[in-house]
Structure 1
Amino acid sequence: MIQDAIAEKLGFLKEDWKQKEKSQKFTDLYARMKTMKFVLLLDDIWKEVDLKEIGVPFPARENGCKVVFTTRSREVCGQMRVDDPMEVKCLESNEAWDLFRSNVGKITLESHPDILELFKSYLFESLRRNQY
């Protein structure tokens, strides 16, 4: 999945890409990415991601590349050999609402009477899921 998502962002042709073997996908991605500076964001991962296996050049100060990922698993942090772990706490509901409101904007918020209630129900469900 990660290989395919990166390939799409890099503009590889979808039909041509789908026909390739994993090793050819690796070669194509690595060849393209080794000449680039990039930041790769991997959100909500639950197991180790082997960048070398995918075709992502190892991020280093010398090549100006970075990989940032989010996970709720300390075990995954250890497996990924995190350089600078950072724990991010969930926002309080009023903080989440303020952030949502500032990003969505007044016009959108006032465009439909159900937006506030939908946000509240989404927030409640998110908070319920994130409690261990």
Structure 2
Amino acid sequence: MPSVCRLVALDSTHPASVMALAQDGSIIGLALLLTDEAGEVCLDLLCVVPAYQRQEIATSMVASAVNHLAVMSVKTLSSAYHICNESSRDWHHLFGFVDVYDQMYIPLKYAWYRDEVWRRDKLGLVDGLDTLKAGRDFWLAQLDERKR
């Protein structure tokens, strides 16, 4: 972790939540963890002030939180990101989060790929068809057995 900040536990949230402070005491990052009704822990908010981004502060905060969760015998941490936020998606994947798709979303995604493959095939547009077929097959595999 960069020498310009320190991590501080937050009392009003899940005890594994942390914030990063600059040397002057100003807040430069926050990893807010919450517990849902079922007792599952979720990374609800992760942010770093733009001037301090790309310095591994987010990763350090979440690593600290994960270590704290391990001491508390919590084995699972969930998180969510906006599907269009590529940098957040990439960070989540690099950190080790695994996508769990909403069962309401999967049939829509599968139907789009299926229809787009059919449309392009009928028009004779073969460029990128293999990639679309792979996407279609991926989303078909994600479908709940009841919806196949």
| TM-score (normalizing by structure 1) | 0.30
Higher strand share: 2
Bigger Rg, which one = 2
Higher helix share: 1
Q: Whose relative contact order is higher, 1 or 2, with alpha carbons under 8 Å and at least 6 apart?
A: 1
| TM-score (normalizing by structure 2) | 0.28
